[in-house]
Chains A and B, each alone.
Chain A
Amino acid sequence: MVLEIFSKYFKQIEALNLKFYSIPYDIIKQKTILERIALYDFSFETVILMVIALMALIFHFGRNQNLKITNMIMNPFNDAMHLEFGNIGFNYRMKKIPYITEYQNTLVTGFYTGRKNVESVELKVHLSSRFNPLGLIMEKLMKGVFSGLLEDNLEEFVEITIKPNNYAATSKSSDGSNELFPTQDRKTLPKKYQFVSGIVSKHSMTSSRKKYYYLNTIPMIETPRLPKEYVFMTENNTLSNGIFYKNHQENEKLNDLLDNCKWFLKSFTITDLPDDQPILDTDFDKASSRIHIVTKLVKDQKDVDHLIQLVQYALSIYDDFTNGEFDKIFMNPNLLKKIESLRTHEKNKVLKIMKEVELEMKKRNLEVKKEEKK
């Protein structure tokens, strides 16, 4: 049936130039190029060219839209970070680039380093492919039909990762390596950086848990301290109250900030566990301490300003960490024991899966060998 419809259209297209093709070759040969062009019906070719031009226009417009959003976020962010960091953006072929755009402006990365107590800040803006509206519609339709099976790639979000400079100056020099920030693992990472505690928006509790492994490992705690739109997701209430509310004091500044960010903030988590479920035990050990902020795509300048304030608050947390403000929290042996047991439990889970996979592989190899012998 579909082929019938197509063949009908193809016949109609062919019929446009039946007159031209019916002229014998010898007569056509005698005509000049202009005469031949005048004889040929170019309506189909014109339509195709117009479609291509329209596609190019949409592509250009979509890319520019993404660039506009990027500049709306990145320019004020870079300006604010100039006051905090010594090094903004990237160096490429002796040129300074404020941010990198990839995949036709759908992934934008900003990088900031050179600040006391903080190793780096990485800002990632994930945008949808506005230059391909047909693809977006198809993806949306597919997501609607197979909602349980397909991942949501259409979601636009901002992701900020702040890594602390948690290496003591003495340990750097004694190590002997020339690396400025050597990769850490669970053994070298100081104990006071090994925990998961965060503030998560109630609207995105389930989706954040599904997406980020570190949130999946910890319980949710409701508290009247936070604005009603948020909950704590933390290993232990002592940690969240100690860090965000400086040992059960009022923190008006944080509450105001959270209230301002309630339209876009999804999660604000201090974590040492990986984002994705680790497959290998080495992946589990490799994870480093960081503050991971995830927000919806900020729409206006006011929201960008609030996002900057949120990042500045996150930076202040690491200042307090280095100044030893939270050292008291980590002197509780029960808390340390609980933190340790969660990590051991999670690592055992990974090891169990690894063993199961290994056994399965061995079984398969044996089966293959048996078949080869036969």
Chain B
Amino acid sequence: MNPLVSNIGVMLLSNYVCKKLDMTDPQIINYLRIFYVTFNVLTYLTYQYIKMKISKKNDLKTIKYQNQKSPMQMLLKGGASDENEEAVITTTVVQYDLEQVESLIKGMYTSWLMMGGMHFYMKYTQPMVMQGISPIKSVLEHPLFNAYVLGKEVERPFGQTPSAAPKEESKKPKKKLPAAKKD
């Protein structure tokens, strides 16, 4: 299923669940906390397992991909291109996969921080339902899960459109030079 469609499905489902539950009941709040923590810990452990598998496999095949700026760089540098910055990055599969899993783990830390602020400071409870389901859903849909847990073959770089990937050199055979004329 398309992740976008399933995300909308998860959102609608969590809204439905939130409406059915009494969010003022302290017991239900405690259950929701347990639900949120359990699923997030499970997701975190899955990422750590994937990280361990990546290091163990140590796939040194080289790959090339288009350098994409992070949103923070875009914000601060206004998306201006830096001449010294490489347009195409050459790296190994192990390095690429480790970078991907590290950024996913970092994303989890940010999400925990946001959720902590929303729940303990602003006293919101509803987002815990959504934030409990979506991390485990995204880990199950991620190509790294397919590659290292399910053992499927996946193509790298992930999520780049074919136009963004560096163009391969034309495989057309070069035209033969005309033979030198003989006297």
A349 to B83, CA, bound (A): 10
Q: How distant is B76 from chain A, measured CB to nearest CB, in Å? A: 7
Segment among A43-51, A122-130, A200-208, A238-246 that sits at the interface with chain B: A200-208
**Residues in B neighbouring A148, C-beta threshold 8 A:** 69-70, 72-73
**Residues in A neighbouring B106, C-beta threshold 8 A:** 144, 147
Residue of B nearest to A213 (CB): B84
A216 and B84 in contact (CB under 8 A), knowing A144-B106, A202-B60, A202-B62?
A: yes
- The answer to whether B60 and A206 have CB atoms under 8 Å apart is no
- The answer to whether A146 and B72 have CB atoms under 8 Å apart is yes
- The answer to whether A231 and B70 have CB atoms under 8 Å apart is no
- The answer to whether A205 and B73 have CB atoms under 8 Å apart is no
Q: What bracket does the count of chain B residues touching chain A fall in?
A: 10 to 19
- The answer to whether B90 and A206 have CB atoms under 8 Å apart is yes
A149 to B82, CA, bound (A): 13
A229, CB-defined interface residue at 8 Å? yes
**Residues in A neighbouring B76, C-beta threshold 8 A:** 149
Interface residues of B in 51-91 (CB under 8 A from A): 60, 62, 69-70, 72-73, 76, 83-84, 86, 89-91
- The answer to whether B72 and A206 have CB atoms under 8 Å apart is no
**Residues in B neighbouring A216, C-beta threshold 8 A:** 84, 86
A308, CB-defined interface residue at 8 Å? no
Chain B contact surface mostly:
mixed
Interface residue count for A (Cβ, 8 Å)? 21
A222 to B61, CA, bound (A): 10
A277, CB-defined interface residue at 8 Å? yes
B92, CB-defined interface residue at 8 Å? yes
Q: How distant is B133 from chain A, measured CB to nearest CB, in Å? A: 26
B125, CB-defined interface residue at 8 Å? no
Contact with B along A142-161 (1 / 0, CB 8 A): 00101111000000000000
**Residues in A neighbouring B83, C-beta threshold 8 A:** 349, 353
- The answer to whether A228 and B60 have CB atoms under 8 Å apart is yes
Give the interface centre of B73, B86, B92, B106 by most chain A CB atoms within 10 Å: B92
A203 to B62, CA, bound (A): 10
A277 to B83, CA, bound (A): 11
Give the interface centre of B60, B72, B89, B95 by most chain A CB atoms within 10 Å: B60
**Residues in B neighbouring A192, C-beta threshold 8 A:** none
**Residues in A neighbouring B109, C-beta threshold 8 A:** 144
- The answer to whether A149 and B72 have CB atoms under 8 Å apart is yes
Interface residues of A in 313-360 (CB under 8 A from B): 349, 353
A residues contacting B by CB (< 8 A) are 144, 146-149, 202-203, 205-206, 209-210, 213, 216, 220, 222, 228-229, 231, 277, 349, 353
What are 9 residue pairs bridging A and B, where the CB atoms are less than 8 Å apart in the complex?
A: A146-B72, A147-B106, A149-B76, A202-B95, A205-B90, A206-B90, A210-B86, A213-B84, A216-B86
